[in-house]
Chain A
């Protein structure tokens, strides 16, 4: 029994708008150097799944730029490998995972495959789902569709046979179901439904609050230990950044730091992405700073999410709350006047 995978990168997640103006949910930066889809893709390739279709709707420029031909995940293959499968939806897809309309548009991907079973997964969950184990569980249970469920809910990952997948794609209109997630939630007859109990760490990123909470949750050593397993690496696009520089006078504690940054100021309880500059006497507490941001000297930031390329001029003070972090959109420039 062998697996192929359909990754749903077109699903619409309403609560993340500030971060999805220029990108799909799947390419939101997470954990300093990753994009959300890295976790889904890495879980798949770590289970030796080599035939992966990414179903994506606009705007997917950022996702294509990130994925390329799939080299970082070893999915640049002669046979099978990575398939980028754009859908014709405007303004994002539907709100549940595994849209049959999307699958129907690329029916051949399923028809031509030599694999017996299909994984359908979302692209906004970070975890370490072991699909080999899940497939074994699925086969032993004899159920038609198996859903991975963790302590705090569904991981929105499913396994079913390719034969059943084809049957569903051909009949979803008359059955009046939109997606795999719908089907499983409604438990439509005549199919049988099983649950694979997932015991590891996972984070569902479906709102800004969740994004903020789960990002800072990685500062907990236990979470990191469960997410970053040496035997199951999380792969991402390589950027060739040099190691991060901590200059004299900087003070960093309880923080996760990606490469390529230059730190002169004070950082605590924060996630700092690649190639960020933090100026002298700037103070950051509980912030998520994405790649290539510049925070000039004497800034004071707390509970702030700064998307890529944000520039914060000197002396700016921005204080959010854990429940309502301040979100700065991609490329925004904040001056002292703005923040007063």
Chain B
């Protein structure tokens, strides 16, 4: 690419439906896939797409993210020119300005963008799991001579009303944009991935900032306004795996998708690696009594029990006669002898006692917190 692209990665989300998993970290920092955090996906997509200037906008519980991303070394973003820049809200003469919406987050970093002198700005979300070549998207944007390009994905009609939907003509020109409509007219969902011509975006952000009743959101304010001004807005049809993990159940599903080759997300792909911060741990060990089937296991684990159809993060200890099935076990957790876990997500650093059983197996997926375990202990079940 000769033109300069700057990616702005929105990573301030709380993800409150993920319960205690996001009490002290932002949603993009949630562990996923045995060794990753969700934000590794858009960051690695940038690296693999040749985008070397990335701003990461943080707000909710930013410390884990700032620390995790650091200088951007795991993603090759520690560069002399460009690289990664963390962009939390900041104070200026007229006070502290929190990010009120997705568009205001970008607006408040206009100085950063201006200093980068981009031709195009790529807006990304830090909490989606997918592999995408952004270079192709930007080529498409140029080819179509669009002012803004929205990456879209076909979703099942019954789920369509959960998304921002775009309706297009045969040339993929967007004719309508509706945010979570009750009666969807289209099943093309916006992935929250947009390419803007920087100069156009800049003027729309300036205007939007002066509109008092605006919610300063791309989906609700900026895009509808551009459409009503007859700016050229096109949809880019993305094909492939894409997941927005908003709930404990969908986080579990996204992990299980890794165990199902037909789900379409392959991590064992040397041509499109997902980069991550790698802790220095010894290889995993499956002991004499260990049995592992249909699962993924990361470094530093010692498995002496039975693991079926599960995703096991680094440094997990599963003792003899323990059974883990259809579950996600996050790093540093220890599962005692004879414990039986099924359809759970175990957060990091939990100790599951010997012979533990779920008190009331829930219909959905249980987030097996230390609190839940402590109440089991108090109930004297063991």
Contacts and interface: CB of A to CB of B under 8 A. Distances in A.
A322 interface: no
Residue among A234, A240, A248, A251 with the highest chain B CB neighbour number at 10 A: A240
B34 A243 contact: yes
Interface string B262-296: 00000110100111101011111111111111111
B285 A257 contact: yes
10 contacts: A234-B282, A242-B296, A243-B34, A243-B35, A243-B298, A245-B295, A246-B296, A254-B286, A256-B284, A275-B270
Interface in A257-304: 257-260, 262, 271, 275
Contacts of B297: 243-244, 246, 257
Nearest to B270: A275
Given A33-B299, A250-B292, A260-B268, A243 B312 contact: yes
Given A244-B297, A253-B287, A255-B285, A235 B280 contact: yes
Given A258-B283, A275-B270, 10 more contacts: A228-B282, A243-B312, A246-B294, A246-B295, A247-B294, A252-B292, A254-B288, A257-B283, A257-B285, A271-B283
Nearest to B311: A243
Contacts, number: 103
B35 A244 contact: no
Interface in A181-231: 219, 221, 224, 227-228
Nearest to B75: A240
A105 B33 CA distance: 49
B327 to A, nearest CB: 15
A262 B299 contact: no
Interface of A: 31-33, 72, 219, 221, 224, 227-228, 233-236, 238-240, 242-260, 262, 271, 275
Contacts of A247: 293-294
A33 B293 contact: no
A235 B34 CA distance: 20
Contacts of A248: 293-294
Nearest to B308: A248
A38 to B, nearest CB: 10
**Chain B interface: which size bin?**
35 or more
A234 B285 contact: no
A252 B304 CA distance: 11
Contacts of A72: 280
A31 B280 CA distance: 13
A236 B288 contact: no
A143 to B, nearest CB: 35
Contacts of A256: 282-285
A33 B274 contact: no
Contacts of B299: 33, 243, 258-259
A263 to B, nearest CB: 8
A254 to B, nearest CB: 5
A246 B301 CA distance: 14
Contacts of A262: 268
Contacts of B307: 246
A219 B311 CA distance: 23
A247 B278 CA distance: 24
A126 B294 CA distance: 34
A224 B267 contact: no
B286 A253 contact: yes
Contact of B282 (A219, A224, A246, A275): A224
B286 A242 contact: no
A248 B293 CA distance: 5
Give 7 closest A-B pairs by Cβ, nearest first. A243-B34, A242-B267, A32-B283, A243-B298, A228-B282, A243-B296, A246-B292
Given A246-B293, A252-B292, A259-B299, A240 B284 contact: no
B286 A252 contact: yes
A39 to B, nearest CB: 12
A233 B293 CA distance: 29
B285 to A, nearest CB: 5
